[in-house]
Amino acid sequence: MRALVILPTSLRHSETPLLRYAFTGISSDTDPRAPHCTPATGVVPRPATPGVSPLWRYQKRHSKRNITKTRAVSLVIQPPAPRFLIPLPQPLSPPRPHLASTVPCNKKKNSYMSSTEVPCTSGVHFLAGSVPVNGTVSPKTRTRDPWRISVPSHPATRSEVMTPDAAESDAPAVAPATPDAEKHERPACTVVGIGASAGGLKAFTKLLSHLPAQTGLAFVLIQHLDPVHESQLTQLLAVTTRLPVIEATDGLMVEPDHVYVIPPNVSMTHEHGALRLAPRADGPAPHLPVDIFFRSLAQHSQNHAIGVLLSGTGSDGTVGIGEIKAAGGITFAQDEQSAEYASMPQSAIASGSIDFVIPPDQIARELVQIGRHPYLRPTPTAQSESEAEGIFEQILSHLRTATGVDFSEYRPTTMKRRIARRMALHKHESHTDYLRLLQSNPAEIDSLYRDMLINVTSFFRDPDVFEALKTTVFPQILKGKSAENPVRIWVPGCSTGQEAYSIAMALLEFLDQHGAPPAIQIFGTDINDEAAVEKARPGVYPPSIEAEVSPGRLQRFFIKVDGGYRIGKAIRDLCVFARQDVTSDPPFSRLDLISCRNLLIYLAPALQHRIIPTFHYALNPDGFLLLGPAETVGKFSDLFERIDRPHNLFARRASPTRPYPFLVGGSFPLTPQRGGTPPAEPVSPIGDLRREADRIIMNRFAPAAVLIDENLEILQFRGNTAPYLQAPSGHATHNILKMVRDSLFLDLRTTIDQAKSKTPPRGGTTFVCPMTRACAG
């Protein structure tokens, strides 16, 4: 067998007994730098455990300066290779590139080490280098001799060599930084990403100094650093905490109860449990290391991610921490009073993505408590899952009663995860206790409702998609368009508006090369009125959008304002935003394009099967449907034809085998089938229609609605119509057009005209139109 090891550059000759003691049972008692050794003894067989180690961290705490010096060590076990590589003492010259046995230990000049290969008769082999591994090594930081080596000698067994007290260690093994690491990952470790800029050192120190030695969490610090000077942040923080502080290296696997610090002049991401480093990107766009790390953490850790924003200038981290929350993670921001520079955490607070706004010392205490919650443990207990299943329906029922939105047909795994997230925030492990909280605290109902509706969006997400629109869709939908026949585009589930605005910008860019633009109408709708639609309308976004929008587009389509950018009036005038529940409210009609990316993935199949035909009904015969990369039209291939597989772009089929009218509440036609003939059976009398309307509206939990006759006289009011209707002065009237508020008059008039033109008069025919802006065409 052979083992590959790098020794610390600071290891003095007087410290070699530590090495001999660490390898008791492998090396002889002679000086390990000597060109000989003896066969290994004292091997203790143990069952094999999954996971291998790419890095072995040597840590020696110097008594005078109390600074932890960390050096990377790689271990490889491969049979057979009876050779012994011996580290030579420093100082040594820098290595030549072709010497595989030479590895840099840090960024200081001439701070390298090399090794010389010497024959050996034992089964152990030492070599400096970072290589694929087959064994596990983990540091033992709580004893005087911090070494523990695990050596697999057979696929089914493991031989372990350790110091006499190493058996007491409970430090987890480190997984390998190799491509195979993705296939053999250990259970997830909750990673706390902590971002800061100006004033960050003080905030880091305050937070880390209040952490105990055992938290079960891994901490990754992302500080804005000077790209040309060496950072001393690792050394400065090491004296403030009981946790090991390590400067990150590429491929380093993240372990609980460790602190990792980003090096200068790099971008760092978290992928499959490992830290990945890449050179800092050149170009005019600002370097946003916090956003880069947070976004990767959200993608790969999901609910096992925690984001923290501390003191700093600018808005780096705002976008990324929003993605952490959308993925099910938990978010913190430093409060304004304790932050030396508050703009960085305040930007995230203003975005609505922060769960806790508290000082760094309180953040540390909250992290310790939340880290113990089952929501952040690698595998939930069967008991907690069983309990959640029994109360899940009760929570959804209570939420439905309070908000009028039925989440029972949303994807249950997503809903359960977001309920569990709220439980973790309140430190509730019992679902029964959380249900009691919902029943007694209206504010928590509102918070859970907003959490259920969180969606991730950005400008020009998947840029290739917008190029596909310019190539495939825009040339087709612009044919025959004019001021009287506008281009009509709908973005359901628009969130805070970035997708709708991106389509508007892309369309204007296309029209630059293809003549004068026709009239354009882009409708953005979302069920979340307060958190989404109200933010989309003014079109104000943080400076961090510079990473998503090119400088040319920023200059042309945006206006620089305090705290970020605002969409220019030319783009805002093309877009109309309104609250709408795509699962139940009437759709828009005569549409040329529907962009519904990453909405259907949150819905259960039964609900998807109702929405896809609705899209077909809403589109013009030559319209297009754009879905997210993980979405499909499923069984409705007779309604849509996929015309661009890489970008998930569909064309509406002109002659479907069966028509699909939109059904209010799932069963009541708003209008007859497009292109169909009136049914031959007798029409139900007015009383039956009213009872049917009662059933529909009650099923939808009494939304604002009215029942009118063919003379537009209101027969019945349903729900709270005050936001939409008001009694006019003068002669009393129940005519809906005289009672509707001015802002809704044109939309309602258009809707009524369309309904009347498609409904044959039958002596008092009645139709239902929910009182929302979404019912406009």
pLDDT classification of 738: cutoffs 50, 70, 90: confident
**Which residues, in sequence order, are CB contacts of 587 under 8 Å at separation 6+?**
490, 614, 615, 617, 618, 662, 774
pLDDT classification of 624: cutoffs 50, 70, 90: very high
> In this predicted structure, what is the pLDDT of residue 768?
47
pLDDT at position 220 over 50 = yes
Judge contact between 341 and 312, C-beta under 8 A.
yes
> In this predicted structure, what is the pLDDT of residue 661?
44
pLDDT at position 340 over 90 = yes
Which residue is listed with tokens 């015309």? 643
> In this predicted structure, what is the pLDDT of residue 718?
67
> In this predicted structure, what is the pLDDT of residue 128?
32
Judge contact between 675 and 741, C-beta under 8 A.
no
| Over residues 58-68, mean pLDDT | 35
* Alpha carbons 701 and 399: distance in angstroms, whole number: 12
Question: 511 or 704: whose pLDDT is higher?
Answer: 511
Judge contact between 505 and 571, C-beta under 8 A.
yes
Q: What is the pTM of this model?
A: 0.62
> In this predicted structure, what is the pLDDT of residue 240?
92
pLDDT at position 679 over 90 = no
Question: 126 or 246: whose pLDDT is higher?
Answer: 246
> In this predicted structure, what is the pLDDT of residue 759?
54
**Which residues, in sequence order, are CB contacts of 63 under 8 Å at separation 6+?**
none
pLDDT at position 97 over 60 = no
**67-71, 316-320, 716-720, 723-727: which range is least confident on average?**
67-71
Judge contact between 535 and 497, C-beta under 8 A.
yes
**625-634, 638-647, 680-689, 730-739: which range is least confident on average?**
680-689
> In this predicted structure, what is the pLDDT of residue 121?
32
pLDDT at position 42 over 80 = no
Residue in 364, 392, 368 with CA at minimum distance from that of residue 308: 364
* Alpha carbons 708 and 115: distance in angstroms, whole number: 90
pLDDT at position 680 over 60 = no
Residue in 602, 568, 564 with CA at minimum distance from that of residue 583: 602
| Over residues 50-78, mean pLDDT | 35
For the ranges 161-165, 516-520, 699-703, the maximum mean pLDDT occurs at 516-520
> In this predicted structure, what is the pLDDT of residue 747?
75
> In this predicted structure, what is the pLDDT of residue 24?
28
Residue 618 Cα distances to 261, 436, 450, 523, 615, angstroms: 52, 42, 28, 13, 5
| Over residues 447-461, mean pLDDT | 87
Task: Point out the residues that are catalytic.
Answer: 197, 224, 316
For the ranges 120-124, 508-512, 527-531, the maximum mean pLDDT occurs at 508-512
* Alpha carbons 115 and 128: distance in angstroms, whole number: 7
Neighbours of 178 (CB within 10 A): 17
For the ranges 184-188, 297-301, 722-726, the maximum mean pLDDT occurs at 297-301
pLDDT at position 644 over 70 = yes
> In this predicted structure, what is the pLDDT of residue 655?
58
> In this predicted structure, what is the pLDDT of residue 201?
93
- Give the mean pLDDT of the chain: 71
Which residue is listed with tokens 């630059």? 512
> In this predicted structure, what is the pLDDT of residue 380?
54
pLDDT classification of 117: cutoffs 50, 70, 90: very low
Question: 689 or 651: whose pLDDT is higher?
Answer: 651
pLDDT at position 58 over 70 = no
> In this predicted structure, what is the pLDDT of residue 575?
94
pLDDT at position 119 over 50 = no
| Over residues 277-284, mean pLDDT | 82
pLDDT at position 81 over 90 = no
| Over residues 138-161, mean pLDDT | 32
pLDDT classification of 703: cutoffs 50, 70, 90: low
> In this predicted structure, what is the pLDDT of residue 564?
84
* Alpha carbons 127 and 125: distance in angstroms, whole number: 7
| Over residues 214-225, mean pLDDT | 93
> In this predicted structure, what is the pLDDT of residue 350?
86
| Over residues 333-337, mean pLDDT | 95
Using DSSP bridges, classify how beta strands 305-309 and 191-196 pair: parallel, antiparallel or unpaired.
Answer: parallel
Question: 396 or 719: whose pLDDT is higher?
Answer: 396
Interval 177-217: pLDDT, tens? 333 333 334 446 899 999 999 999 999 999 999 999 999 99
Start-to-end CA span in the chain (Å): 75
